[in-house]
């Protein structure tokens, strides 16, 4: 099968209570494709400026990520997000956003991607997400992510996109905004009535819940004592989840449960270091052993 | 084996965003003993006034709870707590507390209780908790609970009691107060260095974590769509946990994991109705089937 990821490749400036990192590589598409690359050969659709580091491009290639859909704008500057985390890693504030080349980004799906089986619309403007549907040929599965900004600024388009997708990745804050429900179980079930047949509710340090018709699955987060940088955890979850499904070529309930655990595993590695640094050393064996550790953690 | 529970039997006035209940039966000892009564024959130590309803006494007896340690003060008025919950059931505020007969409560352990194997010091003044140690003969296991009030008002005694117990039940807010650690994994491990050999960290709708030397076990909360009244969830958890251990007469890691699931199961029933009402209809078969449901919820 094949997996296409549409999203951002970016610079992030990250502030935590302990450290600050200036203009390191980030972006939803970057995290997601790196996480997925341990399971399949993801194809990305994104845009960067000429200032984007060549060694990162080499690293993504080395991780076997298909970059034919990565547009490099000559003379352009890469999207730059600056965020600040408090002592609670679940809470972050956007300090500054420079859209740069992202401002006029109208993703074009390369001809070689059009028959993709799985499409992931990572967090981008819902208008752009919607446009992707016109460019692909009957994918088996479409998944999406979003953020609070789009829920409040573009609810109509967002709800229309939501109606057309199969899987929705969302966090607790966002699902409460969208459904006006405090109780997460009710909120998850409510989304099932809004289009998706699967809702992946990410709860940060408290794990995740997977809702489907006739399916409710819960996982804990890996018990992490040092969250170095929470950025990209959600995108890495999606990457592990979708990459695994693409690899096993099955959407059975059993595989969906396992996919969610692999998603959680990938997220747990991402937060162990700043930006995408953890992927530079991560070995497949570590992923498998953390998967086994998840089993041990919950067994009774 | 045998289980002695020392705590409060009380009246609660409960306000939720949807309903208000005036002077219904509550109290840590009440919830804990009712939950434990499905596994063993708990013995309670508590005090009430003459105004305490006779039919509740009959109900507790019918549930096979040993009431020889329940003191009824002639002409006295029962302890009365009034609390208010917001839309977030994890957040509550105390509106009013009338100590009444509880003000001069100095629990005396009846002679017939003194050889108890397991003692549970439910949430009461740490000075009273400490005094219990002088009254019992080498129990196999002592467990305790507390609340933020005692952490801030009597930290010295509290830390001394903590040093002497085997199991500490605590919620996320309290453990952060006690350890000054935001990260719950670090906080749990820190408590292990302060006395207890087992820490049960209750996270409400996000489940619970069990820490021991060489043990880390996580459980989800039962996915509940309608939390009617969160009061007593923590005490019911402790009752299910300790009642189960008392029944199986083992403190092995396997049984501790299972005990924590039964604790979570009992808490999940308590919150389905106001006060202790759910216990009036709860059948053992329902407990077993919810235990099985927990397994299904997390299996992958």
CB A188, CB A174: distance < 8 Å: no
Closest CB to B300: pick one of A183, A184, A258: A258
Any CB–CB contact under 8 A between B95 and chain A? no
Chain centre to alpha carbon of residue A127: 18
**Distance (Å) from the C-alpha of residue A242 to the closest C-alpha of chain B?**
16
Q: Please tell me the total count of domains within chain A.
A: 1
- Locate the chain A residue with the closest alpha carbon to B295: A300
| pLDDT recorded at residue B139 | 96
Any CB–CB contact under 8 A between B43 and chain A? no
Contact A297 B218 (CB under 8 A): yes
Q: Which residue out of B91, B171, B207, B223 would a mutagenesis test of the A interface target, given it has the greatest number of A Cβ atoms within 10 Å?
A: B223
Chain A residues near residue B206 by CB distance under 8 angstroms: 203, 206-207
Which backbone phi and psi does A82 adopt, to 5 degrees? -125, 125
Q: Is B123 left (phi over 0), alpha (psi -120 to 50) or beta?
A: beta
Contact B218 A217 (CB under 8 A): no
Q: How far apart are CA A64 and CA A44, in angstroms?
A: 11
Contact B299 A227 (CB under 8 A): no
**Distance (Å) from the C-alpha of residue A185 to the closest C-alpha of chain B?**
6
pLDDT > 90? residue B186? yes
Q: How far apart are CA B285 and CA B278, in angstroms?
A: 14
Contact B223 A185 (CB under 8 A): yes
- Locate the chain A residue with the closest alpha carbon to B254: A300
| pLDDT recorded at residue B90 | 80
- Sequence-distant (6+) residues with CB within 8 A of A36 are A3, A5, A42, A239, A240, A242, A243, A246
Provide the ipTM: 0.90
Contact A298 B219 (CB under 8 A): yes
Contact A217 B300 (CB under 8 A): yes
| pLDDT recorded at residue A91 | 82
Q: What percent of chain B has pLDDT over 90?
A: 95
Chain B residues near residue A227 by CB distance under 8 angstroms: 183
Contact B182 A87 (CB under 8 A): yes
Query: What is the interface size between A and B, counted as CB pairs within 8 Å?
Result: 72
Chain B residues near residue A300 by CB distance under 8 angstroms: 217, 219, 254, 257-258, 260-261, 295
- HEC string of A62-91 equals HCCCEEEEEEEECCCCCCEEEEEECCCCCC
Q: Give mean pLDDT in consecutive 10-residue pieces for chain A, a chain of 300 residues.
A: 96 96 98 98 98 98 98 97 90 93 93 96 95 93 96 97 98 96 96 98 95 95 94 98 98 97 98 98 98 95
Any CB–CB contact under 8 A between A203 and chain B? yes
Q: Which of residues 101-130 of B touch A (CB under 8 A)?
A: none
**Distance (Å) from the C-alpha of residue B45 to the closest C-alpha of chain A?**
32
pLDDT digits (tens, 9 = 90+) for B131-151: 999 999 999 999 999 999 999
**Distance (Å) from the C-alpha of residue A127 to the closest C-alpha of chain B?**
34
- Sequence-distant (6+) residues with CB within 8 A of B98 are B77, B79, B80, B81
Contact A220 B205 (CB under 8 A): no
Closest CB to B298: pick one of A186, A226, A298: A298
| pLDDT recorded at residue A87 | 86
- Locate the chain B residue with the closest alpha carbon to A217: B297
Closest CB to B186: pick one of A186, A207, A225: A225
| pLDDT recorded at residue A251 | 96
Closest CB to B87: pick one of A182, A217, A220: A182
Closest CB to A300: pick one of B224, B227, B257: B257
| pLDDT recorded at residue B88 | 84
**Distance (Å) from the C-alpha of residue A238 to the closest C-alpha of chain B?**
18
pLDDT digits (tens, 9 = 90+) for B84-127: 999 888 888 999 999 999 999 999 999 999 999 999 999 999 99
pTM of the model: 0.94
Any CB–CB contact under 8 A between A214 and chain B? no
**Distance (Å) from the C-alpha of residue B139 to the closest C-alpha of chain A?**
26
Query: Among residues A41, A45, A40, which one has the least CA distance to residue A7?
Result: A45
- Locate the chain A residue with the closest alpha carbon to B203: A206
| pLDDT recorded at residue B87 | 86
Any CB–CB contact under 8 A between A183 and chain B? yes
When pLDDT is averaged across residues B46-64 and rounded to a whole number, the result is 98
Chain B residues near residue A295 by CB distance under 8 angstroms: 300
- Locate the chain A residue with the closest alpha carbon to B219: A298
Q: Which of residues 247-266 of A touch B (CB under 8 A)?
A: 254, 257-258, 260-261
pLDDT > 90? residue B198? yes
Contact A217 B183 (CB under 8 A): no
Categorize the per-residue pLDDT at B283 as very low, low, confident or very high, splitting at 50, 70 and 90.
Answer: very high
Residue-range definition of the domain harbouring residue A219:
3-298
CATH of the domain at A33: 3.40.1190.20
Q: How far apart are CA B250 and CA B299, in angstroms?
A: 25
- Locate the chain B residue with the closest alpha carbon to A184: B225
Q: Which two tokens stand for residue A54?
A: 């060549």
- HEC string of chain B equals CCEEEECCCEEEEEECCCCEEEEEEECHHHHHHHHHCCCCCCEEEEEEECCCCHHHHHHHHHCCCEEEEEEEECCCCCCEEEEEECCCCCCEEEEEEECHHHHHCCCCCCHHHCCCCEEEECCCCHHHHHHHHCCCCCCCEEEECCCHHHHHHCHHHHHHHHHHCCEEEEEHHHHHHHHCCCCHHHHHHHHHCCCCCEEEEECHHHCEEEEECCEEEEECCCCCCCCCCCCCHHHHHHHHHHHHHHHHCCCCHHHHHHHHHHHHHHHHHHCCCCCCHHHHCCCHHHHHHHHHHHHHHHCC
Q: Which of residues 131-170 of A touch B (CB under 8 A)?
A: none
């Amino acid at each position: 099968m094949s997996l296409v990821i549409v999203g951002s490749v970016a610079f992030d400036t990250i502030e935590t209570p302990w450290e600050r990192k200036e203009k390191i590589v980030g972006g939803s598409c970057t995290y997601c494709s790196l996480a997925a690359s341990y399971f399949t050969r993801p194809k990305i659709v994104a845009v960067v400026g000429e200032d984007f580091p060549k060694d990162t491009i080499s690293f993504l290639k080395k991780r076997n990520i298909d970059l034919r859909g990565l547009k490099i704008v000559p003379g352009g500057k890469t999207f730059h997000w600056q965020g600040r985390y408090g002592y609670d890693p679940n809470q972050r504030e956007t300090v500054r956003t420079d859209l740069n080349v992202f401002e006029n980004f109208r993703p074009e799906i390369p001809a070689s991607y059009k028959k993709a089986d799985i499409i992931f619309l990572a967090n981008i403007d819902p208008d752009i997400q919607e446009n992707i549907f016109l460019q692909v040929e009957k994918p088996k599965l479409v998944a999406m992510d979003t953020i609070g900004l789009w829920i409040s600024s573009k609810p109509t388009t967002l709800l229309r996109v939501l109606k057309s997708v199969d899987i929705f990745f969302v966090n607790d804050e966002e699902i409460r905004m969208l459904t006006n429900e405090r109780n997460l179980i009710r909120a998850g079930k409510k989304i099932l009535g809004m289009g998706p047949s699967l809702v992946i509710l990410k709860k940060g340090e408290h794990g995740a819940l997977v809702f489907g018709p006739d399916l409710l699955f819960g996982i804990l987060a890996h018990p992490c004592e040092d969250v170095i940088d929470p950025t990209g955890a959600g995108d890495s979850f999606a990457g592990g989840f979708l990459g695994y499904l693409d690899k096993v070529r099955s959407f059975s309930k059993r595989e969906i449960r396992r996919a969610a655990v692999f998603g959680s595993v990938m997220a747990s590695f991402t937060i162990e270091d700043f930006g995408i640094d953890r992927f530079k050393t991560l070995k497949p064996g570590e992923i498998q052993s953390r998967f086994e550790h998840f089993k041990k953690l919950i067994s009774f």
